Amino acid sequence: MIFLAEHAPVLAIAVPLLAAFLMPLLGRAGAKIRNLVAFAAIAFAGIEVALLALNVLANGVVTYAVGAIAPGLVSPAGFPVRIVMEIDALSTFMAVASVSIALLACVYSMQAMKKHENLDKYFALMLLMTAAMLGMVFTGDLFSLFVFLEILSIASAGLIAFYSGRGESAEAGFKYLAVSSVAALMVLLAAGFLYSQYNLLNMAALAGAMRFSFLDKFALVLLASAFALKCGAVPLHMWVSDAYGEAPAAVSAMLVVASQAGLYALFRVGFTLYGSMPLIDLLGLAMIVLGVLSMFIGVTMAIKQSDIKRLMAYHAVSQTGYMLLGVGVGLSVLGNAAMVSEFGFRAIQGGLFHVFNHALYKGLLFFTAGAVFYVAGTRDMNKLGGLAHKMPYTAVFFLFGALAIAGMPPFNGFASKLIIYESVFEFSPVLSAIAMVVSLLTLASFVKAFSGIFLGPKEAVQAGVKEVPIGMLAPMAILAALVLLFGLFPDLVLEWLVNPAVNALLGQCGYIGAVV
């Protein structure tokens, strides 16, 4: 037990990684044992993440030197050696969101993908995605951030193109991989620029040694652009609709948390690596601009879609805009302590809370879209209709997700959006008004989607449609319950998960001091 808690950072990554490579071997022994091992690996990673989260809540930043005799030997001679994993409350916040969605996506896939071949590769790639997401949020090293980013991109691209009988899926995978490779290349170049000046790759040590020369600012531009591309902010959103639309439903839910890992990296670079730069509020303003563009363009592109999953993909772009808006407002007032305590803290709190809520309700929506595709065989809303007669549970879960994304009480979307509206209003009322208009358009788009798919006469339903099996209903029910609970008791989530994460973002000195 002590072993599990002490080595939690490495075990949370290593066990899914090992299980990923065991998938083809276990697939020979049968589908049941392979599915069981995949579920067990992600559940074990979940336990490790929970232990680590409790450790970080109690003891502050946790550091782990990979490969040292004792994990605490981070700086034996005064400067960090080896690859150091540095986990603070923001890392555990993202890890809890990622691993819970990964677990539910694994359970959902076991039923939804039953009729397909090549499931060994499917589960192997899904476990690789989980390991890579956890690696990205736990690492304290800029180059290993690049490596885990690439692992995540390659595994996601393989899963996006999983339906290899269709050319459209391969097209989406190709586009995603080309765009992600360029982004990762920019991260690598930025790491090279920073290494060439300071001979350091550890993010905490770099933050302490940073002198903000021209090359450092150039590296910031490269890093910010690369991670804005990875999280799907407008105008770098061109891959989101294809990738989320063509992937299998559980993979789309995982891609949402994978994009949020890119968002985590953007925050890490902005707040921790460059937090004491004199002009850092310009990055905050850039994030606000990207956020507003994403919100508006995402929702307006979504309204005209007729494919359910492409519609949800554009809404994912739009909701990412809310997160960028909230945290951007916080970053742009970072130097001003009075403004931070007035509304900056609340803005970052709203943005981060929205990250977790978005993972939950977007996962729920993609699962329901997958259920509709499983039963009806089509994603085109023009061809569907009246499904609520035959699929009542799926219809209710879709309604939960749609009301949550539109920001209706008592669901979780309302809680985080209200915090964002109130805090952004004090920064600039226009931005808050735009955010509310986008919420209205989101509601309009989902009213159209819900009535197009589920409402309508019984005669409109295709033959052979019935409710999906319990293996797909259970993850949807769990997510729907969480969506409702987070909306009814937001203070609990804020106190235990979100506020420590916001304090971790604002407390750059704690992050640096743990290593240097």
User: Which residues contact another protein by CB under 8 A?
Assistant: 143, 147, 150, 153-154, 157-158, 161, 164, 166-168, 170-174, 177-178, 181-182, 184-185, 188-189, 191-192, 195-196, 201, 241-242, 245-246, 301
Is the Cβ of residue 184 or residue 347 nearer to another protein in the bound state? 184
Is the Cβ of residue 157 or residue 299 nearer to another protein in the bound state? 157
Is the Cβ of residue 107 or residue 210 nearer to another protein in the bound state? 210
Task: Tokens for 12, please give them.
Answer: 């949370």
Minimum distance from residue 280 beta carbon to another protein (Å): 26
User: One-letter amino acid identity for 300?
Assistant: T
Could you give the C-alpha distances from 479 to 118, 127, 270, 485, in angstroms and in order?
A: 28, 20, 31, 10
Is the Cβ of residue 215 or residue 418 nearer to another protein in the bound state? 215
Is the Cβ of residue 301 or residue 333 nearer to another protein in the bound state? 301
Task: Tokens for 160, please give them.
Answer: 């996006």
Tracing tokens 């009535």 back to the chain, one arrives at 451
> Could you give the CA distance from residue 458 to residue 452 in angstroms, rounded to a whole number?
13
Minimum distance from residue 217 beta carbon to another protein (Å): 18
Is the Cβ of residue 125 or residue 348 nearer to another protein in the bound state? 125
Task: Provide the sign of the torsion angle of the four alpha carbons 420, 132, 196, 219, taken in this order.
Answer: negative
Minimum distance from residue 432 beta carbon to another protein (Å): 30
Tracing tokens 């929970």 back to the chain, one arrives at 50
Is the Cβ of residue 123 or residue 343 nearer to another protein in the bound state? 123
Minimum distance from residue 386 beta carbon to another protein (Å): 28
Could you give the C-alpha distances from 494 to 358, 410, 502, in angstroms and in order?
A: 15, 16, 10
Is the Cβ of residue 30 or residue 167 nearer to another protein in the bound state? 167
Half-sphere exposure of 503 (CA within 13 A, CB side): 14
Minimum distance from residue 268 beta carbon to another protein (Å): 20
Backbone angles phi, psi at 454, to 5 degrees: -100, -30
Is the Cβ of residue 83 or residue 512 nearer to another protein in the bound state? 83
Angle at 54 between CA 52 and CA 55, to 5 degrees: 60
3-class secondary structure, 141:
strand
Minimum distance from residue 299 beta carbon to another protein (Å): 15
64 strand-pairing partners: 85
Is the Cβ of residue 170 or residue 474 nearer to another protein in the bound state? 170
CB-based contacts of 396-400 (< 8 A; 24+ apart in sequence): 396/480, 397/364, 397/367, 397/368, 397/476, 397/477, 397/479, 397/480, 398/365, 398/368, 398/450, 398/453, 398/454, 399/450, 400/361, 400/364, 400/480, 400/483, 400/484
Minimum distance from residue 189 beta carbon to another protein (Å): 6
> Could you give the CA distance from residue 507 to residue 514 in angstroms, rounded to a whole number?
12
Taking each helix axis from N to C end, the angle separating 392-406 and 429-453, rounded to the nearest 10 degrees, works out to: 170
3-class secondary structure, 479:
helix
DSSP string, 393-459: HHHHHHHHHHHHHHT-TTSHHHHHHHHHHHHHHHH-HHHHHHHHHHHHHHHHHHHHHHHHHT-S-GG
Minimum distance from residue 139 beta carbon to another protein (Å): 14
Tracing tokens 């130097």 back to the chain, one arrives at 335
Is the Cβ of residue 39 or residue 163 nearer to another protein in the bound state? 163
Minimum distance from residue 316 beta carbon to another protein (Å): 16
> Could you give the CA distance from residue 332 to residue 343 in angstroms, rounded to a whole number?
11
Is the Cβ of residue 149 or residue 277 nearer to another protein in the bound state? 149
DSSP string, 287-320: HHHHHHHHHHHHHHHHHT--BHHHHHHHHHHHHH
Is the Cβ of residue 5 or residue 189 nearer to another protein in the bound state? 189
> Could you give the CA distance from residue 320 to residue 292 in angstroms, rounded to a whole number?
10
Radius of gyration of the chain (CA): 22
Minimum distance from residue 105 beta carbon to another protein (Å): 21
Minimum distance from residue 178 beta carbon to another protein (Å): 6
Minimum distance from residue 167 beta carbon to another protein (Å): 3
Task: Provide the sign of the torsion angle of the four alpha carbons 363, 368, 373, 378, taken in this order.
Answer: negative
Minimum distance from residue 133 beta carbon to another protein (Å): 17
